[in-house]
Amino acid sequence: MTTFVALGDSITLGIGDPIRLPPAPGVRPGRGKGKRGWRGWAALLADGLLEPDLRIVAGNGACWADLERDQLPAALQLRPEVASVVIGVNDTLRPNFDPKRIAASAAHSVGALRATGAHVLTMRLPDPGRMLGVPTVLARPLARRAHQLNQVMDEVAERFGTLHFDAARDAEAYDPRMWAIDRLHPSERGHRLIARRFHALLAAAGLPVAEPPGAEPLSQPPTRAEQFAWMATKGTAWVARRSTDLVPNLLAMALAEWRCGGSADTAAVAEPDLADAL
């Protein structure tokens, strides 16, 4: 049996990859449409392992501090053969973003998991400003934070020997089809991309694996009508939250960067080779 423990945030919870859940016990199959739930890349990857035992300890909205405090102890108790640590977008969107504090949490968390003998999966994250499609003046500080976060993860990956997926430089990661309507979570196709990349890394590391997940979605993507319905219901709440926390934070970040003359070294935060990859 391969115990796979997945730490992280809503991306690891599968947000953006909806599935129809089986009927509850005692409910006759076929009655009604059933409830919807989330699957995601971790579940897809688990299907490509031998005798998988998937334990997801990720939390919605989690930041690095939450992972270190709440998720890491639970993960260590499970003594996984494979552990994933995919997190950081929420940190880049918070006003108290602190790369040094994140680096300490990442080193402690990944180091503790590697000390158990687990193969640890880590990921460099795409630029959230690019995913959100915000104006350049707001996207620039987000790109800077994403670059700082990825530098932290590069150092942690090299220090502890993780299996490191570079989504920031992966051309396919920037295909609009890879992203859900909220532009912050992968679509089913995007979740499949993450699962396939990690599956390849595990296979290359010599871990016995089964067949990789397929690249093509099995569920129909949401129609324009369904996307409009989402924006008219859940989307309005999402926009309202982003208008009261994300937008002011972005404006404050942009103002601080302007005062410090940060625009002069924009090239320093660009991901190398990204323009050539697209």
Cβ–Cβ under 8 Å, residues 88 and 8: no
Give the CA-trace dihedral at 263, 269, 272, 278, to 10 degrees: -70
CATH for the 2-277 domain, from 3.40.50.2000, 3.30.420.10, 3.40.50.1110, 3.40.30.10 = 3.40.50.1110
Domain boundaries, the chain: 2-277
112: part of which helix (H) or strand (E)? helix 99-115
pTM of this structure: 0.82
**C-alpha distance from residue 215 to each of 49, 89, 277 (Å):** 16, 24, 20
Q: What is the pLDDT along the chain (278 residues), one digit of tens a residue?
A: 999 999 999 999 999 998 877 766 665 655 545 577 899 999 999 999 999 999 999 999 999 999 999 999 999 999 999 999 999 988 988 888 999 999 999 999 999 999 999 999 999 998 877 776 667 777 788 888 999 999 999 999 999 999 999 999 999 998 989 998 777 889 999 999 999 999 999 999 999 999 999 999 987 666 666 555 555 555 445 544 554 555 566 666 666 666 666 543 343 444 544 333 32
